Chain A
């Protein structure tokens, strides 16, 4: 009892927002450096797991030079909030990442996160590094299908028990006993599938908004009772990499961090790695000066839009969204949503579809009443209240003027 209460109080005061402490001091980092070196040595001595590929060869095949790779390594070191001296270690860790077995499952999803990895104009180093991880199972990407695929999964689960990292893409429907989503010939529900696979995993990584918080499947009215991984899986380290889609750079960051240190990166209270979700879009946005100056795009294609004005009045939710896409961008820093002229829809925040993605300022958005009833904007609601109060006051004032009793000397009628 007392414990449950302590827990709930703790939860109440638990920072859901990001607090980033990057300066941990000389001593911390030199200790970390030593332990990372030991860890990488151990991984090197391990055989390449099942389907792992050699990174050097993969990079060469795609026409990247060693120099490109080292440039990537130093950018990634910075992204992980490690001192520059860690760059060689990060490069080595990327090379031994193929020792880490990965199982990737898809539940209620659109495969958008897998697509994000695959559909770039040419593979970027982030994506190649992800390619070389020993992907033991990935329904969309693997050749095997049907019973063959199932067998492959069982073998991997057996062989790498307690060692593999489980990537989950998509939400888990809990309605009608989980039967909104089943998998395989035995029609195992998504829920049972996830719990069984999570059981033998070293860590579970939820990629994308759906796996993290339920995302689109869980949007109102959430017909299938969809939830995210962290609502279901208990007793395993869980790392959330939300966004729609999750940025491949952040996926690599998490796996690299794991390869490097053997532990999960520092997480915020939504279990998102702070190195990626410790930044607010609005504070790192190239249009911020226009926000402060009161220069807004008023409608698509207007003079403001041509001049890259702030998208706040078009519903940009950058002020309430934590993600690093304003810094590292997408597709190896080619561009990002606000860069191409449309507002942020808060894809890395819980309930983003219902509460962020309506593409107009919150004051103008139709918000469900807590009762789930009529949709009104907050201002309509407020003006309604005000009108009601005004009418009440008007009636009272008129009645007082006509029938009110001014003389309070003789009390009571």
Chain B
């Protein structure tokens, strides 16, 4: 018995590039961030200073991945409203339809795919909420991270002018009262949020693989080829 499959496009090349840029940057940010938090390998005393510069390189890599995040986050925020696929923000509105769909997707996961009563051709509302959580965590990382960064620009000067520290202060000083009132709280929050993101990632990867195996719609291909397949007639 042959089933016919229909191909549906879900991610443009740009979206896929952003996805993998994000994934690589995230791994880099975690590896370097953990080193910054607690340097877990030593440099050799005998090495020349030029060769070691270990912390400085780790911080450099951390900040570069942060800057890439900055850019991709802006693009993603744009796509939330102007994507040519189902616009994500429409899926975030808690109207009856979305709440029901959200519940159905959870049930699908909990009943181990015994119950599947939603349309899996488009990005469903559970998916969208889950990705939105990631983007919110990432935004929080950006703001707390940039607050940590601006501590080093206390003179108000920077190599690109005074506007840069000033902008950072305006956009990130709110993280101090919000996280607990001291600079250390910002750092603690930055570190704990990293763990939340790690947990998010673990489930994300698991869920994408699980979906691929159980739904049999090639979901994992979305992020590689840009499309998935659903059985015809749906």
Contacts and interface: CB of A to CB of B under 8 A. Distances in A.
Chain B interface mostly: helix
B181 A351 contact: yes
A364 B147 CA distance: 22
Interface in B191-215: 191-192, 194-196, 198-199, 202-203, 206, 210, 213-215
A294 B43 contact: yes
Interface stretch (A11-19, A55-63, A197-205, A258-266): A11-19
A17 B169 contact: yes
A386 B199 contact: yes
A334 interface: no
Interface stretch (A105-113, A150-158, A398-406): A398-406
A411 to B, nearest CB: 5
Contacts of B56: 292-293
B216 interface: yes
B197 to A, nearest CB: 10
Contacts of A294: 39, 41-43, 52-55, 58
A19 B154 contact: yes
Contact of B53 (A292, A312, A321, A346): A292
Contact of B42 (A289, A296, A400): A296
Interface string B167-199: 001100110111001111101100110111011
Interface stretch (B66-74, B82-90, B110-118, B132-140): B110-118
A139 to B, nearest CB: 31
A78 interface: no
A389 B41 CA distance: 28
Interface in A262-309: 278-280, 282-283, 289, 291-296, 298, 303-304, 307
A232 interface: no
A408 B39 CA distance: 49
B216 A408 contact: yes
Given A19-B169, A293-B52, A295-B43, A362 B184 contact: yes
Contact of B187 (A12, A293, A320, A408): A320
A389 B184 contact: no
Contact of A393 (B42, B54, B202): B202
A17 B176 contact: yes
A405 B112 contact: yes
B225 interface: no
A386 B202 contact: yes
Contact of B150 (A17, A346, A356): A17
Contacts of A317: 184
A19 B173 CA distance: 12
A88 interface: no
Nearest to A413: B114
Contact of B38 (A20, A322, A363, A405): A363
A381 B191 CA distance: 11
Interface string A318-358: 01111000000000000000000000001001110001100
B39 A296 contact: yes
Contacts of B151: 17, 280, 319-320
B184 A16 contact: no
Given A295-B45, A381-B195, A346 B184 contact: yes
27 contacts: A12-B173, A15-B169, A17-B150, A17-B169, A283-B152, A283-B154, A294-B43, A296-B42, A303-B45, A320-B151, A321-B183, A349-B182, A350-B181, A362-B184, A363-B191, A378-B191, A378-B195, A382-B192, A385-B195, A397-B210, A403-B112, A404-B112, A404-B114, A407-B216, A408-B214, A411-B115, A411-B116
Interface of B: 3, 34, 37-39, 41-43, 45, 49, 52-56, 58, 109, 112-117, 147, 150-152, 154-156, 165-166, 169-170, 173-174, 176-178, 181-185, 187-188, 191-192, 194-196, 198-199, 202-203, 206, 210, 213-216, 231
Interface of A: 11-21, 278-280, 282-283, 289, 291-296, 298, 303-304, 307, 312-313, 317, 319-322, 346, 349-351, 355-356, 361-364, 367, 378-379, 381-383, 385-386, 389-390, 393, 396-397, 399-400, 403-409, 411-413
The 5 closest A-B pairs by CB, nearest first: A382-B195, A294-B54, A404-B112, A292-B56, A363-B37
